[in-house]
Amino acid sequence: MKPDRKTYIYIGVLFILAIITYGFLIRNFTITDIKMLLFWTVLTIIVESLLIMLPNDSTGVSVGSAINLASIIVGGPLLGTTASFIGLLFRCPRVPKYGYTHLLNTPYYITIFNVSQSIIVTSAMGLIYLGAGGKIGGFSLFLTILIVVLGTIFNTVIISKLIALLNNQKFTKIWFSNIYGIIGSIIGVGTIGIIIALAFISYGYGAVILFFGPLLLARYTFKLYMETRNLYLSTIQAFNSVMEAKDPYTSGHASRVEKYATRLAEAYGLSYVKIQNVKNAAILHDIGKIGVNDNILNKSAKLTKLEYEEIMKHSSIGAEIISKVDFLKKISGIIMYHHERYDGKGYPEGISGDDIPIEACILAIADSYDAMTSDRPYREALNKEEALQEIINNAGTQFHPALAEKFVDMLNE
């Protein structure tokens, strides 16, 4: 993705800040042990080359933070920072679609960003460690945990801002998503970094090599997690493709409902986990139509009462299907109740008001809006203004009133 002017300015500011920071380190610290610098630099190059790509294949993560943490504690901020950014410069990770990438075939702005981010974060961790009373070559558990936490915050803020600029998305949304996704790995990798630092202080270089194996094992475990997550996302997309192949009139409906429902969930202030549940439920909300007769589903004329009752079963059928899939069962309730009405006149159970899960109320509005603004065999689509007026007219009866108001405001922005 090509950066725009704002992104270049952002990277330029980071680069200038990195130069100032590294200049400060050079004036105030020295590297007296070149062997130690080479040792930690080589380890950094190895772990940074074993990059784990995220689902979009454009961003990767490594377990290099463990090596950075250990090198800061045993060698100080200048040694840790130098080993960190040289390791990034000479890494050679394998990226899907591009093969092995290195300094000579990586866009210059990416290299500048990576090096700048590494210098800023690593030097800040080192300076905070010493400023709070830590000693080079000594160890303080409290201060180590402190710089792990602060380093994670600095790192995710800098990277999230770049992703937000590249994708024109809200910074807070990207940041919360990143923090939530890496908490487990931070604890694991941070713990191994502490162990490696203690091993070096107590037993020297050989002990670090012994503990390098567990670090690579942690990296492998995280890689398996990412592969499982990719499988999860692929499964959801496969379900969606099957459903749309069965009902061609609703092709693209699930994707549009996902977009509307996710925006509404964010605007309403749901937690990150609930937003993800709404997002997944929106993609799969009509999966139950697999169990509805094709002749009824694709009928161009008005449905009879019996045929409509058959269609109404799709939410229950969908919830039952989803409840049997372990990693999706938590969204079965959203799918079950997405046709309930606020006044209790919906289906399948006729529940009302706050008894309806808020996620299902969100999905109901997104689903209804897209249905109204799409052509169907039995009627033409309403325009945006007409559809929003219907949402307003039915707030408090068909739709959750606060969500209806939020949705209309959101689409009128």
Q: 0.75 cut: is pTM over it?
A: no
Distance of alpha carbon 150 from alpha carbon 159, whole angstroms: 14
Q: How many Cβ atoms from other residues are within 10 Å of residue 196's Cβ?
A: 27
Whether 247 contacts 287, CB under 8 Å: no
- Distance of alpha carbon 349 from the chain centroid: 34
What's the pLDDT band for 207 if we cut at 50, 70, 90? confident
Structure tokens at 239: 């379900």
pLDDT tens by residue, 245-268 = 766 666 688 889 999 999 999 889
The DSSP bridge partners found for residue 376 are 379
pLDDT tens by residue, 124-180 = 999 999 999 999 998 898 999 999 989 988 988 998 898 888 877 778 877 877 776
What's the pLDDT band for 84 if we cut at 50, 70, 90? very high
pLDDT tens by residue, 140-150 = 989 999 999 89
Predicted local distance difference test score (pLDDT) of residue 30: 92
pLDDT tens by residue, 301-358 = 778 888 888 888 999 998 998 887 777 888 999 999 999 999 999 999 999 999 999 9
pLDDT tens by residue, 18-43 = 999 999 999 999 998 999 999 999 99
pLDDT tens by residue, 191-206 = 888 888 998 999 899 8
Q: H-type helices in 247-326, by residue range?
A: 253-268, 272-284, 294-297, 305-312, 314-323
Q: Output DSSP code: residue 383.
A: -
Mean pLDDT, residues 388-403 taken together: 95
pLDDT tens by residue, 47-61 = 888 877 665 555 666
Distance of alpha carbon 103 from alpha carbon 84, whole angstroms: 15
Residue 398 has pLDDT above 80, yes or no: yes
